[in-house]
Amino acid sequence: MAKKLVIKVTAGADAPERCSQAFTVAAVAVASGVDVSLWLTGESSWFALPGRAAEFELPHAAPLPDLLESILAAGRITLCTQCAARREITEKDVIEGVRIAGAQVFVQEALGDDTQALVY
């Protein structure tokens, strides 16, 4: 099993099941002691903003705010630089603990030793 897991989630409310799966896998991995880096891109970018996860609903799924909180507590969450810029989101807008970084950092993380990358 990989010691590090990099997950890129591209879906948000537009594809709720895919979005929920990414957050659930990230939270379960964190709870299992895996070093997790979750990347918010595309429509999932909005979840970097305070209160936005609470607006997300999917029957029979764990609440997104709970998943987000657990990932932030023991993993890393990164908002894509270009995705943030397209949505006019800045570092002062995001939840504490969320960083903004670009493709170079994603590639560096995804190609690290003992790393598995997943895209949802």
- pLDDT score at 2: 62
Percent of the chain with pLDDT over 90: 98
Angle between helices 16-31 and 64-74 in degrees, nearest 10: 40
Confidence band of 47 (pLDDT split at 50, 70, 90): very high
Strand order in the sheet with 4-9: 98-101, 76-80, 35-40, 4-9, 115-119
Q: Residue 33 pLDDT > 70, yes or no?
A: yes
pLDDT tier at 98, thresholds 50, 70, 90? very high
Rounded CA-CA distance 111/120 in Å is: 18
What count of Cα atoms within 13 Å lies in the side-chain half-sphere of residue 2? 19
Query: Distance between CA atoms of 90 and 54, rounded to whole angstroms?
Result: 20
**Would you place residue 70 in the very low, low, confident or very high pLDDT band (cuts 50, 70, 90)?**
very high
Please tell me the distance from the alpha carbon of residue 57 to that of residue 30, in angstroms, as a whole number: 22
Whole-structure pTM value: 0.95
Compute the radius of gyration of the chain from its Cα atoms.
13
